[in-house]
Amino acid sequence: MSVDAATVKRIGRLARIRIEDNEVATYQDELNTILGFVEQLSEVDVTGVEPMTSVTPMVLRRRDDVVTDGGYPERIVANAPLSEDNFFMVPKVIE
Amino acid sequence: MTDLTKLSLVEARKGLAAKSFSSTELTGAYLSAIEAANPALNAYVAVTGEQALSMAKASDAKLAQGEGGALEGIPLGIKDLFGTKGVHTQAASHILDGFKPEYESTVTSNLWRDGAVMLGKLNMDEFAMGSSNETSFYGPVISPFRAESSNANLVPGGSSGGSAAAVSAWLCAAATATDTGGSIRQPAAFTGTVGIKPTYGRCSRWGVVAFASSLDQAGPIARTVEDAAVMMTSMSGFDPKDSTSAQLAVPDFAAAVERGVKGLTIGVPREYRMDGMPAEIEKLWQQGLDWLRAEGATVRDISLPHTKYALPAYYIVAPAEASSNLARYDGVKYGLRVSGKDITDMYELTRAAGFGREVKRRIMIGTYVLSAGYFDAYYVQAQKVRTLIKKDFEDAFNAGVDAILTPATPSAAFGIGDEAMAADPVKMYLNDVFTVTVNMAGLPGIAVPAGKDGQGLPLGLQLIGKPFDEETLFAAARVIERSANMDFSPKPWW
């Protein structure tokens, strides 16, 4: 499998990273090099093998579904590039 | 007075307890060393001098009363990946410009609980993605080592290159680091320092900037095996805030250091004997086995048949997880924002400007392998191969192997701006060929300096252990350290 220029642009859109036209060729080469390298995985016989979901045998701990933290919105927005009245500010999304 | 920065962590601790010097003096000595060296080495991206001296003063008050924790008054460097409250935390990325967390990571909280002093934040590859510390937004870290009769700058390895360089060049007593595919062990090997990646779950990931969550683990880089063990004991421990944190008691790792290797079985995986491996690496490996044998260990050839697939599987799993983890950098919640004509435009422009080339490349790969139609062929296949890689190790341990000895890296440190590696990303990725299997299987691995190449550059060996058996790694690494009995300090040129 190899990626073409249109695919590079499409991945960029999915990843929300602007890919300028003059960058497409370089990304295309690099992605194809990496994908070529990982291609060898297809030769491994994985019949009956379960995909790994946890690297150590463990069961996810559960806790009571209660509020254990919070109540400090000013700390949540403290690092925002733009905020007002403890809200994050973004460009208008609904016309 | 002797140069306090040259003391090992354990020696410094003894000196503080005996009141031969104060933490304020020790901290002051490190701050002066940083001021003198950092313009050349670029190991620190932020120095917290005032905070360091006030922490040292508090430690001195405790030490004066004969009190204090296991690291009381010991000055440490902290990798920029660890969230430190109110202090520069940017994963050496442009996209986290100005970020000062409102919280403290669990690992650093544990260190401050035990009395350690923070000198500052250490440079690293951006978001821990790299093997040479050249992807940092703050520019590369320069290794304190140079080849004999050469002035060429070398890389300290990565991604914890700032940690390794600072420890090696006496700019902190020890440092925190993180390891997703070799980012503790490879820079430790390049700089003649000791670095351990503990078992997945041993150190809390809470408050550490995430790269690939199923692989990331914190660990120390230090100048001796014993120093690393002392650091490891403080950094470890169960944390309810990390859902994958192991609910296990933390041993006193330092107590295991002099335990020896008598009666242990050391495995030698034949698949690690790579084509084109330099003769000096092969020789070092044999030397390590001889040292362990001489102290009573049995050496046995083993097979880890899926070794060659670990790196390709890693380059699917790690970018996939990274593309998901790094989705949070959107110009809204923290860091850089580049304005656009609408919100999508703002996201795309912010991320294009804020991430460096290597990070963008990995997000793109991750996005691709997770995208509709490719998920099963890439991601699911890689996770199945990962199951097989882990089983290889389990089979070896079940057959009676206690630990596995391998080279830490395929070569000694290379030059800054190495052209072959810049031209082909896969060449750079091959640096982690011996270390990445350990992350894929969640096992502990330690790198210990064991020899030098023909140019006088340090070379390391790696020991791989059973899950949560870091103690055996410290014991075996100490035998190698003691047997090598070499000076692995750089010759200051800075």
Angle subtended by helix axes B310-325 and B381-398, to nearest 10: 120
Q: How many domains, in total, are found in chain A?
A: 1
Any domain includes B203 = yes
pLDDT in tens, B224-241: 999 999 999 999 999 999
Q: Does B2 touch chain A (CB under 8 A)?
A: no
pLDDT of residue B393: 98
CB-based contact B318:B180 (threshold 8 Å): yes
Contact (CB<8Å) A15/B374: no
Average pLDDT of the residues of chain B: 97
- Rounded mean pLDDT, B252-280: 95
Q: Is A94 on the interface with B (CB under 8 A)?
A: no
Instruction: Assess A60–B contact: CB distance below 8 Å, yes or no.
Output: yes
pLDDT at position B1 is: 52
Which of the four pLDDT bands, split at 50, 70 and 90, describes residue B441?
A: very high
pLDDT tens column, A39-53: 999 999 999 999 998
CATH value at residue B234: 3.90.1300.10
Whether the model clears a pTM of 0.90, i.e. scores above it, the answer is yes
Tell me how close the Cα of B340 comes to any Cα of chain A, in angstroms.
8
Dist CA B98 CA B57 (whole Å): 28
- B324: its two tokens: 């998901």
Domain assignment of residue A28, yes or no: yes
CB contact under 8 Å between A58 and B429, yes or no, is: no
Give residue B485's region: left, alpha or beta (phi > 0; psi -120 to 50).
left
Q: How confident is the model at residue B244 (pLDDT cuts 50, 70, 90)?
A: very high
Check residue A95 and give its pLDDT. 75
Residue A36 domain flag:
yes
Q: Give domain status of residue A73, yes or no.
A: no
Print burial letters for B357-387: b (CB count within 10 Å at least 16), e (below 16): ebbbbbbbbbbbbbbeeeeeebbebbbbbbb
Q: At what angle do helices B225-235 and B470-484 cross, to 10 degrees?
A: 160
**Quick check: is A91 in a domain?**
no
Mean pLDDT of A20-33: 96
B360·A31 Cβ contact <8 A: no
Of the candidates B13, B438, B64, B55, the residue with the CA atom closest to the CA atom of residue B254: B13
Residue A15 lies in a domain: yes
- Of B429 and A51, more confident: A51
Our count of domains for chain B comes to 1
Q: Is the pLDDT of residue B425 over 90?
A: no
CA distances from A34 to A44, B318, B489 (A): 18, 13, 37
Asked if B124 contacts B160 with a C-beta cutoff of 8 angstroms, the reply is: yes
Are A78 and B102 within 8 A, CB to CB? yes
* Across B241-262, average pLDDT: 97
- Domain coverage including residue A23: 5-42
- Name the residues of B annotated as catalytic: 79, 159, 183
A55 compared with B7, residue with greater pLDDT: B7
pLDDT at A44: 97
Any A CB within 8 A of B483 CB: no
Q: What is the pLDDT of residue A1?
A: 61
Q: How far is B202 from chain A (nearest CA, A)?
A: 11
Give the pLDDT mean for B302-315. 97
The predicted-structure confidence for B37-82, as pLDDT tens digits, reads as follows 999 999 999 999 999 999 999 999 999 999 999 999 999 999 999 9
Domain membership flag for residue B301: no
pLDDT beyond 90 at B429: no
Task: Tell me the per-residue pLDDT of A52-94, one tens digit each, with 9 for 90 and over.
Answer: 989 988 888 888 999 999 999 999 999 999 999 999 999 988 8
Is residue B39 assigned to a domain? yes
For residue B430, give the chain A residue with the closest CA.
Answer: A37
Stated as kind and residue range, the H or E segment containing B452 is strand B445-452
Contact state of A52 with B383 under an 8 Å Cβ cutoff:
yes
In this prediction, residues B339-346 reach a mean pLDDT of 96
Range of the domain at B157: 4-258
